Structure 1
Amino acid sequence: MKIVVIGGTGLIGSAVVSTLTEHGHDAVAASPKSGVDTVTGAGLSDVLVGADVVVDVSNSPSFEDAAVLDFFTRATTNILAAEASASVQHHVALSVVGTDRLPTSGYMRAKVAQENLIRASSIPYTLVHATQFFEFFSAIAQGATTGDEVRLSPALVQPIAAQDVSAVIARVAIEPPRNGMLEIGGPEAFGLNEFVERGLKARGDSRSVVPDEQAPYFGALLHGSELVPGEGAELSSTTFAAWLKS
């Protein structure tokens, strides 16, 4: 099976390509590095020749509201059009738990726009909604830091290891399309502030983390469980403590 992975050289994409290749599939990493630009459409037609499945795990280089919306709408429109021409049978896209619960977040609005384009297309699809990755705790802290203080919402998160996300994406890519959504998350839920604080302490970072209900996350205020997967979600087994030790 030929599976093209858009964003195939990134954190998730590279692991997906590796896993699929190990299982005997023709997994192709497509990114600007390989001459594929989804925003302009350059290289898409060539890379999708003979493709059975397309996996899109790409992300916007800018999280500014207008830029991120432009990225996901242009890229997804181009990908879906190229898939239709190439008779691709399954479109798999990685998205975020809580996209439809945080309309004040420009990033989440952009992901909703992406998902709506996928649902409206003629291509059979599967959307994978993942929670925050363990790997992102440092970036979350950096974006919330003023001086030596990190202010973050105590709202619940249920983060997951990127490797576990990649394993699910690779598995879903070779399964029949769901024409629906699969939610995935880690095994434990705790406050966003606690998540980052534990990560910083484990790395010897002396910044203090302050719980602040008014601290925005991607431009939105959190009120409790917007970022936690719902009933029926698929939960991984890797704990944050185990990931930090590894």
Structure 2
Amino acid sequence: MSVLAVEGIVAGYSAADEILKRVDFSLAANEIACIIGPNGAGKSTLLKAIAGLIKPSRGSIRLNGEAINGRPPREIARLGLAYVPQEHNVFPSMTVAENLEMGGYVDRDHAAKRMDRIMQRFQVLGRKRRQAARTLSGGERQILAMGMALMVEPKVLLLDEPSAGLSPLAAAGLFEHIRIINGDGVAIALVEQNASDALAISDRAYILVDGRNHRSDVASDIAADSEIRRVFLGG
């Protein structure tokens, strides 16, 4: 059974701007699904529509079988879905601990225990808990952003271009952290331009082109397809 099911979504940033044109997407429990495709394909728009930041004009989005179309992001977070945007995903002037506290705003009663668990899981956050987020490296900031999302104990985590701007070494470490989060029972939908590395950690892959589904398949089959590699993975 899908923990997240998107059917026939039409959405954009204005009534006349249909970026997504009847897109389908599903995510099973404990699965990693990556969404790849050229720039402007609608990948990030899909995540924003799921997270409630954009209201679809048509189609349905269900989280654990419950319709979440049109619900505000805070309510969707309470239902078990967290979203990490590509940019502006931490508060630079706040400490690591304060950022995690902000991530737990929807359930303050359990925030302290959750913060302790996250700092134990991601030890770099524990070591730097009193440092301002602006002093962290790019990879550390992304780990903090994911830690903030985990403060609501989501069943589904949406990640938008988490490796953008990172060195190959930092990106490899980040993808390993994504594996760890998934291993803890969190289903993950991942938008990535670093398609080859995203496919390597994913169970399933979706390719979007011009706001439409182009193909979906087992991630390893997508990665092994020579035509897909030539068109979407740079050879």
TM-score where L is the length of structure 2:
0.32
The structure that is strand-richer by fraction is: 2
TM-score, length of structure 1 as denominator length: 0.31
Structure with larger Rg? 1
Greater RCO structure (CA 8 Å; 6+ sep):
2
